[in-house]
Amino acid sequence: MRLGIISDTHGLLRPEVFDAFAEVDLILHAGDIGPRDLLTELEAIAPVLAVWGNTDGFDLRSRVPELVETVIEGFPFVIVHGHQYGSPTPEVLNEAFPEALVIIYGHTHLPLLTLVDQVVTVMNPGGAGRRRFDLPPSVGILELEPGIPPRGRLVPLLAAGEE
């Protein structure tokens, strides 16, 4: 199974996301989505599991949860925006969700893909919306096969120097 991982769109769904997610089976959005219509646009690509972030309004909060704990292809997942933990780190999130083997979060806009405790995959796809903190927009791809550790990569949405 191939997952598209996205966060911090803040109401902007870049056309490059459609190319990056062309062959995904499921999209995970880690919050700060923007208007509800953005989820509808993503659902045109694949089904979406989403959580709300600290900048999302009450209309969106009534549609999606603050936290998703689920199992995908046999892997226990947590999807959380991360604002609940200040500037979250993989270690802090692993401590908060010790049963998860995959943790997806956003909030910092800093793309990150790492292992914690040698078995827990933690991904922050970075901010996919407007450029913030001089960080280029990005998303993530995560591939799952039972019995094999998750394989992930970060995908920049713009070439260096593009806005």
CATH number at residue 57: 3.60.21.10
Q: Indicate the pLDDT class of residue 162, thresholds 50, 70 and 90.
A: low
Task: Report the pLDDT value the prediction gives residue 163, as an integer from 0 to 100.
Answer: 58
In a domain, 52, yes or no: yes
pLDDT tens-digit map of 122-154 = 988 988 888 777 778 999 999 999 888 999 999
User: Range with the lowest mean pLDDT among 8-22, 81-95, 118-132?
Assistant: 118-132
Q: What is the largest CA-CA distance in the chain?
A: 40
**Nearest partner of 107 among 133, 74, 75, judged by Cα:** 133
How do beta strands 26-29 and 48-50 pair? parallel
- Judge residue 5's burial from the number of C-beta atoms within 10 Å of its C-beta, 0-12 exposed, 13-18 middle, 19 or more buried: buried
In a domain, 60, yes or no: yes
> What's the average model confidence in pLDDT over 71-81?
96
- On the question of pLDDT at 79 being above 90, the answer is yes
In a domain, 25, yes or no: yes
Give me the number of domains the chain comprises: 1
In a domain, 161, yes or no: no
Q: Is 162 left (phi over 0), alpha (psi -120 to 50) or beta?
A: beta
Residue 9's domain spans which residues?
A: 2-156
> What's the average model confidence in pLDDT over 116-127?
85
In a domain, 162, yes or no: no
Tokens of 55: 């900048």
In a domain, 136, yes or no: yes
In a domain, 163, yes or no: no
Token pair 């062959």: residue: 23
Task: Report the pLDDT value the prediction gives residue 31, as an integer from 0 to 100.
Answer: 95
In a domain, 18, yes or no: yes
